[in-house]
Amino acid sequence: EAQVTQNPRYLITVTGKKLTVTCSQNMNHEYMSWYRQDPGLGLRQIYYSMNVEVTDKGDVPEGYKVSRKEKRNFPLILESPSPNQTSLYFCASSYLVQGDNEQFFGPGTRLTVL
């Protein structure tokens, strides 16, 4: 089944404790992206990647890192999480490197930073 998977689905952590949210897609997509979703703010892009070893900042990159060592994986790293990073996170992928085509979203990771 073609899908985007994220792990973990739920995470409660404390300020400053490094964490990684994994994202994997099995559709051989070139483009991958991370979004955060907050009430009243919609979805905002954190980072995106157009191919292996090619990543760039989105609209809200502060406090986050990403890597794209393999085509299928695009982990999101929070080196020192803070409470303002409490949010619902979505990974997405699409076939083309341009943004003007369907993006497939993962099921989401709900992160709480205490």
- Contact set with other proteins (CB under 8 A): 4, 33, 35, 40-45, 48, 50, 56, 58-59, 90, 92, 98-103, 105-108
Q: Which is nearer to other proteins, 54 or 82 (CB)?
A: 54
Q: What's the longest Cα–Cα distance across the chain?
A: 38
Q: Name the residue nearer to other proteins (CB basis): 15 or 98.
A: 98
Minimum CB–partner distance for residue 108 and other proteins (Å): 5
Side-chain-facing half-sphere of 35: CA atoms under 13 Å: 17
For residue 18, what are the contacts with CB-CB under 8 A and spacing of at least 6? 77, 78, 79, 80, 81
Residue-level length of the chain = 114
Comparing CB distances to other proteins, the nearer of 75 and 106 is 106
